[in-house]
Chain A
Amino acid sequence: MVYLTRKLEFSASHLYHNPALSAEENKRIFGKCNNPHGHGHNYTLEVTVAGEPDPVTGMVLDLKELKEILEREITQRMDHRFLNYEVAELKGQIPTCENIARVIWNLLEPKISKGRLHKVRLYETPDLFADCYRNGAHGA
């Protein structure tokens, strides 16, 4: 098995606010991420696909194809967007790194035509990231 990873960056704004909680609770739990006008990050996404290289092309998955999938599914949807208001898949969820990583997994998994999606790692800052993978698949 070979693991292929492609990286991309996007910039987006978000805020953390749960309407079911009081203003004080929102402030206490989310701190400065609760600023009502939002704030932004440069996100870095690493997408890992696992598979056997095709004997004819030597590729697990054509990087060009992966790049197009990422452009269409992630960049166009999330880059220079306000994640709370402009990304339908995040409606009703707090757009934390954990939740965005899961949304990205769910967007990409059905689109990977060769090999299979192994891991999504999303960096919100260089010091904070979330990993999403199938139970039992990690470690390779």
Chain B
Amino acid sequence: MSGGLKIELGRRYRFSASHRLHSAKLSEEENRRVYGKCNNPYGHGHNYVVEVSVSGAVDPATGMIANLADLDSFVEREVIEPFDHKSLNEDVAAFRENVPTTENVCKEIFARLKHFRMAKLERVRVEETGNNTFEYAGEEL
């Protein structure tokens, strides 16, 4: 019916969190130079927006690629609950080693969501602010 057409479902979620950009591989001075005010030792926060795109066959019985309730509860459990109102550096294990830049946040969210069983995860787009956006679609990109 779709004749070579691909349909994706996109959904936006939000969380607010703090982070500090600081690399253990760099000196104090280099950290200040590279990260500027994002290196402030007390950290700072953002209202993040996460855009999740999934693809798959549209079920003729429901008209849906995936039931939104399933997608919402999965994203809530895997990402929103562990990230919202947290310090990414302190509260999310992945960022004890990795600097929580939004590039790395984007990849971490992709890794957490790629196990969604109801549809194929296509990409994750994260807005750190209205002006900074990052996108990750797995390694084939």
Binding site for B on A (CB under 8 A): 16, 18, 20-21, 29-31, 93-99, 101-102, 105, 121, 126-135, 138-139
Contact across chains for B12 and A135 when beta carbons are under 8 A apart: no
Most chain B C-beta atoms within 10 Å of own C-beta, residue among A94, A98, A135: A98
Bound Cα distance from A129 to B141, whole angstroms: 22
Contact across chains for B61 and A132 when beta carbons are under 8 A apart: no
Asked if B67 is at the interface (CB within 8 A of a chain A CB), the reply is yes
Which single member of B4, B12, B58, B141 contacts A98 (CB below 8 Å)? B58
The residues of A that contact B138 with a CB separation of less than 8 Å are none
Other 4 A-B pairs with CB < 8 A, given A98-B9, A98-B58, A98-B64: A96-B62, A99-B63, A134-B5, A135-B5
20 sample A-B contacts, Cβ–Cβ < 8 Å, listed by A number: A16-B62, A29-B62, A30-B62, A31-B69, A94-B62, A94-B63, A95-B63, A96-B58, A99-B63, A102-B7, A128-B10, A128-B12, A128-B68, A131-B7, A132-B5, A132-B6, A134-B6, A135-B4, A135-B5, A138-B6
Contact A98 to B7, CB < 8 A, known contacts A29-B62, A128-B68: yes
The residues of B that contact A31 with a CB separation of less than 8 Å are 69
The residues of B that contact A128 with a CB separation of less than 8 Å are 9-12, 68
Contact A133 to B5, CB < 8 A, known contacts A18-B61, A96-B63, A99-B58: yes
Bound Cα distance from A98 to B65, whole angstroms: 7
Contact A29 to B67, CB < 8 A, known contacts A18-B62, A98-B58: yes
Q: Count A-B contacts at CB 8 Å.
A: 70
Contact A21 to B61, CB < 8 A, known contacts A127-B11, A133-B6, A138-B6: yes
Bound Cα distance from A134 to B141, whole angstroms: 18
Contact A102 to B5, CB < 8 A, known contacts A93-B63, A96-B64: yes
**B window 41-55: CB within 8 A of A:** 53
The residues of B that contact A93 with a CB separation of less than 8 Å are 60, 63
Bound Cα distance from A95 to B65, whole angstroms: 13
Interface mask (B1-41 → A, CB under 8 Å = 1, otherwise 0): 01011111111110000000000000000000000000000
Bound Cα distance from A126 to B63, whole angstroms: 20
Contact across chains for B63 and A16 when beta carbons are under 8 A apart: yes
Contact across chains for A98 and B6 when beta carbons are under 8 A apart: no
Contact across chains for A98 and B67 when beta carbons are under 8 A apart: no
Bound Cα distance from A101 to B60, whole angstroms: 14
Contact across chains for B11 and A131 when beta carbons are under 8 A apart: no
Bound Cα distance from A94 to B68, whole angstroms: 14
Bound Cα distance from A27 to B98, whole angstroms: 44
Bound Cα distance from A139 to B6, whole angstroms: 13
